[in-house]
Amino acid sequence: MPQLLDKTIEILSVKHLRGHNMWTYHPVIEVWLDIGELEDFPSNLIPGFYDRLVKALPSLQKHRCSYGEAGGFLKRVEEGTWPAHILEHLTLELQNLAPASLATLVKRVTVIVVAFTKSW
List residues near Zn ion by CB under 5 A. Answer: 65
Least Å from the CB of residue 19 to Zn ion? 27
Is the separation of the CB atoms in 29 and 15 below 8 Å?
yes
Is the Cβ of residue 27 or residue 54 nearer to Zn ion in the bound state?
54
Least Å from the CB of residue 92 to Zn ion? 9
Least Å from the CB of residue 64 to Zn ion? 9
Is the Cβ of residue 33 or residue 65 nearer to Zn ion in the bound state?
65
3-state secondary structure 42-91: CHHHCCCHHHHHHHHCHHHHHCCCCCCCCCHHHHHHHHCCCHHHHHHHHH
